Structure 1
């Protein structure tokens, strides 16, 4: 592995000396996410730097190199009845743990257990000077000052080359089942917000085309009590459904001509959106997917007025920014971080911000 790290370092130093960009890439299953990269003349492929470094099931911690397959990680955890609780989407069989952390995307269970960043215990990375930096640790009670390790979640490779990561894992639920309800979108949002304040084992939710779906996870007695309390139609074999939401293979996510897929983040109490769009709601109302040809400016203004923000997640015009523009003070912090980790601005130029 030292030889591979030396190759990484040489590529980084060469790119800095020649003042050209460097595209960081693992399995490449999420390269479409974010803004187009300004310079793709050189690619640093991380897949050779792979393998589980350590895994102690009794400690609920796993450490792996950035090029390690997500499928490999999940298969290993499954042998011990454990999981990556935030259900990271793969978007392809070649997905890696490095890409998982860089994109910071979470699946249906995110609203009940937390996001990717909440499970990061420590990372090591190589900065723009070819130096290996280590942040955080490999235990849950680690305290290491400024939490740079969690900063890597969603950074899209803009701060450095992620080398390895330590993650908290959780036991799989003893039992799971799903319930289906027929109702309007307004009623679904009302029910979801009321149930969120109650002691119910809801681990995922979605609403689409007049159908509200809930997933219940926990002990058998807890599930029986929840089913009696909630009602609805029980669906025992719903794993494929929740996976289709995680991987966006559900027919809702089929590309629409001349439409963009927007990811909307809102307070869960926000009402039904008054937009010309087709929508699917997750996370108790806090995440809403939209297919729409509304103008970017109108969409961002509407969502911002409701206390949220919107991301052009996939498809549509790539000449407009994918992410909501940051306020000047926040943008200044981002630029300072970028300058500290990557002073020559070689990593994934333009993917996160201009």
Structure 2
């Protein structure tokens, strides 16, 4: 396996020497996400308008390096298929608590961490970066670097292990990642309630602030769906308190949200992801909405009917998110040509640019995938 690392490092060094752009890509299940030529619906920020980029694929560097179930820690290579890793964890009665979306059978651990996407349990369990303990990577010079470890601890300066999470491959190539894992819940059930959007937002925040084993929530078209997970007595007690109708196919429902196979995500129109304060009342925006994470995640399928002012819509969406204490991302563009990620404040952009210069001085990795020049 070390031979594979040497080959990847040599490719990086050659690219840096020849000023050749590289696209870090393995399973390709998240090609749609972010700016760049790999996004079939967006051409805002090509990596290099003159020279086509080479592909830096780490799938050959796969497999579990170290797994000690009693310590609740697993270390695996970035090319490891996410499905294979989760299968090994389930054999030990454990899981990736942040429920990462796959978006296809070829999803890898590296793509999971680089994209930084979490599933339905994000509000209750935490985000991807909350579970990253350490990592190994190749920077823009081809240097083999390691950060963090296999325990949770405070660090001085930048926490690079978590800094790499969600960086979309703009800082370096992930080689190995150490993650904290958690036991599978003893039981889980899904309840459904009929109510208005405003009432659902209030209920989600009320229940989220109580000692109830709520592990996921979703509101869509007049229905609030709630998942309870944990010890059997706790789930039974919460079921008695909340009431509602129990849904037999709960697992299928939550998987459809995680993998975006739910009908809401299949409309073929621009999909916005608004991360805001959970207590914000219903957002009056053109299109259909689906709410997750106790009200903190608002998905919007934008109205793009004939004659619709798409520029006005994207301005309204970003302003609504900012006014609500958050930000908006054009998650799936479907032909809407606008920057994908919410504009950064000048101070944050300055920090981001300095990090890019530090880790990728020749700017060869996924240039423009997040922001122009980064």
TM-score range, shorter chain: over 0.9
Instruction: Give the whole-Å Cα distance in 2 for the aligned partners of 1:126 and 1:335.
Output: 19
User: What is residue 124 of structure 2 aligned with on the other side?
Assistant: 112
Per-residue CA deviation, residues 26-65 of structure 1 (Å, 9 max, x unaligned), is 1110011111142342111110010100000000000000
Q: Deviations over 1:193-250 (max 9, x none)?
A: 1112211100000001111000001111111111111110012431000000000001
Tell me the equivalent position of 2:327. 309
User: Of residues 227, 241, 246 in structure 2, which corresponds to 1:215?
Assistant: 227
Is the 8 Å Cα contact of residues 196 and 284 (structure 1) preserved in structure 2? yes
Q: For the Cα contact (< 8 Å) 1:264–1:288, is it kept in 2?
A: yes
What residue number does 1:59 align with? 71
Task: Say yes or no: does 1:265 pair with 2:275.
Answer: yes
Partner in structure 1 of residue 289 of structure 2: 279
1:288-312 Cα offsets, whole Å, 9 max, x none, are 1101135211221222122221000
Q: Secondary structure at the match of 1:322?
A: coil
2:140 to 128, 132, 157: 128
TM-superposition CA deviations, 1:126-177 (whole Å, max 9, x none): 0111101110001234756531100011000000011100000000000100
Distance in 1, matches of 2:148 and 2:336, equals 36
1:68 maps to 80
Q: 1:177·1:237 contact (CA, 8 Å) conserved in 2?
A: no
Is the aligned partner of 1:319 residue 2:329?
no
Residue 17 of structure 2: aligned partner: 17
Question: 2:96 matched to 1:92?
Answer: no
**1:169-188 aligned within 5 A:** 169-188=181-200
| C-alpha contact 1:36 1:318 (8 A) present in aligned 2 | no
CA deviation digits over 1:251-289, x for unaligned, max 9? 110033xx3100011100001011111010000000011
Structure 2 counterpart SS, 1:345: coil
Corresponding residue SS for 2:21: coil
Q: Deviations over 1:86-143 (max 9, x none)?
A: 0000000000000000000000011001000000000010011110111000123475
Aligned length: 352
Segments of structure 1 that go 5 or more residues without pairing to the other structure are: none
RMSD of the alignment, in Å?
Answer: 1.3
Of 159, 164, 185, the residue aligned with 2:176 is 164
